[in-house]
Amino acid sequence: MTFTDASGQDQEVKAPQARVIMTWSADDRLTSRIDPAVAHYTGQEEMAQAIQQGLDANERGNAAEATQLLGRAVQLAHASGNTEMTSRLKRVVDIDDTASGTIRLKRNVEKAAAMDLELESTTTKRLRQKSA
């Protein structure tokens, strides 16, 4: 990528190198499986969207949509073992069952708790490696 600096000179910026590990296979069962690390981050993205949309729906007064979306966020946090996010969600909703995402919206949620939840939902956390 190139850009022009303040002096009018073109500068080239190279992206940092990253390792990409791949294995070639003709076996469809192997090539169609999602890597657990990718699944983790995909779930985190879906959870962040559910939180943001759920908080927006709640702010607009759409309790049914907010309950459905924030319940999905609870379910995803539970499935990925993200206890920190589950704890933050508990400040905004009452959780009846984490596995199914059954929740009840809290009536008088502190604005700070909702803002904290929304901010943290967009922060990517490193996947902890399981010890062998």
pLDDT tens profile 5-34: 777 777 776 766 767 677 777 776 666 666
114 versus 65: the higher-pLDDT residue is: 65
Query: What are the distances in angstroms from CA 23 to CA 17, 26, 67?
Result: 19, 10, 42
For residue range 80-129, list pLDDT tens digits in order: 888 888 998 998 999 999 999 999 998 887 776 777 777 666 555 555 55
- How high is the pLDDT of residue 16? 67
Residues facing residue 104 across a β-bridge? 94
- Are the C-beta atoms of residues 38 and 64 closer than 8 Å to each other? no
Above 80 in pLDDT, residue 132?
A: no
What distance in Å separates the CA atoms of residue 71 and residue 20, rounded to the nearest whole number?
Answer: 35
- The four Cα atoms 10, 13, 14, 15 give a dihedral, to 10 degrees, of -150
- Are the C-beta atoms of residues 124 and 45 closer than 8 Å to each other? no
The number of residues making up the chain comes to 132
Residue 16 has phi, psi (to 5 degrees) of -65, 145
In this prediction, residue 69 has a pLDDT band, given cuts at 50, 70 and 90, of very high
The CATH fold assigned to 35-121 is Four Helix Bundle (Hemerythrin (Met), subunit A) (1.20.120)
What distance in Å separates the CA atoms of residue 48 and residue 52, rounded to the nearest whole number?
Answer: 6
pTM beyond 0.75: no
- How high is the pLDDT of residue 39? 61
